Structure 1
Amino acid sequence: MAHTPADPSARRTAGHALVLTEQAAAEIRAELPSVADAVVAAIIAEVPSYEDAFSGPMGATINNAVQVALGGFLSLATRKRGVDPQSPNAPATQGAYQLGRGEARGGRTTDALLAAYRIGARVAWQRMSASAVVAGLDARTVASFAGLIFAYIDELSAASVAGHADESATSGRVRARLLDRVARHLLEGAAEEVVQTAAEHAGWAPPTTLTAVVLREAAARPVLAEVSPQTLQVAETPGLEDTVLLVPDAHGRRRAGLLRAVQGRDAVVGPGRPWLAVRGSYERAVRAHGLGLRGDTDEHLVRLVVGSDAEALADLRARVLAPLEELRPASAEKLVDTLRAWLLLQGRREEVAEALFVHPQTVRYRMGQVRELLGDRLDDPEEVLRLVVALAVP
Structure 2
Amino acid sequence: MTTITQVIPHPRGTGRARQLWCSLPTELARRFRPHADPLARRILEEVQRAVPEYAKPLEGEFGKVIVLAIEQAVLSCIDSIEDLPSTQDDWASLFVEVGRRVHHDGGSVNSLQAAYRAGGRAAWRYIAELGQAHRFPAAVLCIGAEAIFAYVDEISAYSVEGYTLAQAMATGTLERRRRRLLELLLATPPSSPSTLATMAEAARWPMPEQVAVIALEPWTGPHPPSLHFADDVLVDLDSAEPCLLTPHPDRDLLGLEGRLPGRRAAVGP
TM-score tier (shorter): 0.7 to 0.9
Q: Secondary structure at the match of 2:58?
A: helix
**Secondary structure, counterpart of 1:151 in structure 2:** helix
Q: Does 1:78 align with 2:53?
A: no
The CA deviation string for residues 214-267 of structure 1, in whole angstroms up to 9 with x for no partner, is 346634524x1xxx2132112444x53xx32212x216xxx2x32321112235
Whole-angstrom distance in 2 between the partners of 1:15 and 1:105: 30
Match of 1:221 among 208, 227, 233: 227
1:233 aligns with 2:232: no
Seen in structure 2, the aligned counterparts of structure 1 residues 267 and 147 have a Cα distance that, compared at 3 Å, is farther
Which residue is 1:109 aligned to?
Answer: 108
SS in 2 for 1:229: coil
Name the counterpart of 2:173: 174
Letter in 2 for 1:270: V
Question: 32-41 or 110-119: which moved more?
Answer: 32-41
**Partner residue of 1:46?**
50
Q: How does 1:1-394 map to 2 (within 5 A)?
A: 11-19=14-22, 20-55=24-59, 58-79=62-83, 87=88, 89-91=89-91, 93-189=92-188, 190-193=190-193, 194-215=195-216, 218-219=224-225, 221-222=227-228, 224=229, 228-237=230-239, 239-240=240-241, 243-247=242-246, 249-250=247-248, 255=250, 257-264=251-258, 265=260, 266-271=263-268, 281=269
Give the superposition deviation at 1:107: 2.8
Greater share of helix: 1
Shift of residue 116, structure 1, vs aligned partner: 0.3
2:40 aligned partner, one-letter code: A
Q: Distance in 1 between matches of 2:81 and 2:27?
A: 13
Q: Say if 2:21 and 2:80, in contact at 8 Å, map to a contact too.
A: no
| Pair 1:209–1:107, CA change in 2 (3 A) | farther
Which residue identity lines up with residue 199 of structure 2 in the other structure? A
How far the C-alpha of 1:76 sits from its partner, in A, is: 2.1
Identity of aligned residues (%): 22
For 1:232, the aligned partner's letter is L
Distance (Å, rounded) in 1 between the aligned partners of 2:81 and 2:243: 58
Change in Cα spacing, 1:96 to 1:127, as seen in structure 2 (3 Å) is same
Contact 2:18 / 2:77 at 8 angstroms: preserved in 1?
no
Higher relative contact order (CA 8 A, sep 6+): 2
Separation of aligned partners in 2, 1:27 and 1:99: 29
Structure 1, unpaired ranges of 5+: 1-9, 272-280, 282-394
The letter for the 2-side match of 1:163 is G
For residues 114 and 100 of structure 1, the distance between their equivalents in structure 2, rounded to whole angstroms, comes to: 10
Q: Measured at CA, do residues 235 and 182 of structure 1 come closer, stay the same or move farther in structure 2, by a change above 3 Å?
A: same
Q: Which runs of 5+ in 2 are unaligned?
A: 1-12
Does the C-alpha gap of structure 1 residues 206 and 129 become closer, same or farther in structure 2, counting only changes over 3 Å?
same
**Contact 2:40–2:71 (CA under 8 A) maintained in structure 1:** yes
How much does 1:132 deviate? Answer: 3.4
Alpha-carbon distance in 2 for matches of 1:47, 1:269: 52
SS state at 2:211 partner:
strand
1:6-39 deviations in Å (ceiling 9; x for gaps): xxxx945234324333432122121121111111
Distance of 2:87 and 2:59 partners within structure 1: 31
Q: Whole-Å Cα distance in 2 between the matches of residues 75 and 118 of structure 1?
A: 22
- CA pair 117-236 structure 1, distance change in 2 beyond 3 A: closer
Which residue type is aligned with residue 90 of structure 1?
Answer: D
Q: 1:123, CA displacement in angstroms?
A: 0.6
Deviation >6 Å, runs of 4+: none
Q: Please state how far the C-alpha of 1:269 moved relative to its aligned partner.
A: 4.3
Q: Does the 8 A contact of 1:65 with 1:96 survive in 2?
A: yes
* Native 8 Å contact 2:53 2:107 kept in 1: no
Distance 1:186 1:263, change over 3 A: same
Task: Count the aligned residue pairs.
Answer: 246
- Listed one character per residue, the Cα deviations across residues 35-84 of structure 1 (whole Å, up to 9, x for unaligned) are 1111111111111111115256532331222111111122123328xx8x
Which of 190-199 and 10-19 deviates more?
A: 10-19
Q: Aligned partners of 2:81, 2:111: CA distance in 1, in Å?
A: 27
What TM-score results when the alignment is normalised by the length of structure 1? 0.57
